[in-house]
Amino acid sequence: DEKIGGTVHLALGASLPESGGKNVSAIHWDMVCDMRQGGETSADGELFYRDGKFLI
């Protein structure tokens, strides 16, 4: 699901040492957002992206 066309993959937390990352975290949290037609993205209950367009 991280390699689907029309999506954005965002990861928070510990990075991979092989990529040069130096941050230390107890978690690694992956998020995939569907940016294609029909897709919606919200944060804190506020819709900010729908059908390929930012709303704010």
What is the average pLDDT value for the chain, to the nearest integer?
Answer: 84
- Alpha-carbon distance of 1 to 12, in angstroms, equals 17
pLDDT at position 21 over 90: no
pLDDT band at 47 (very low <50, low <70, confident <90, very high): very high
Q: The whole model's pTM is what?
A: 0.50
Residue 33's closest CA among 10, 3, 13? Answer: 10
pLDDT average, residue stretch 24-53: 86
Q: Where are the domains of the chain?
A: 7-54
Residue 44's pLDDT band (cuts 50, 70, 90): very high
> What percent of the chain clears pLDDT 90, i.e. is strictly above it?
9
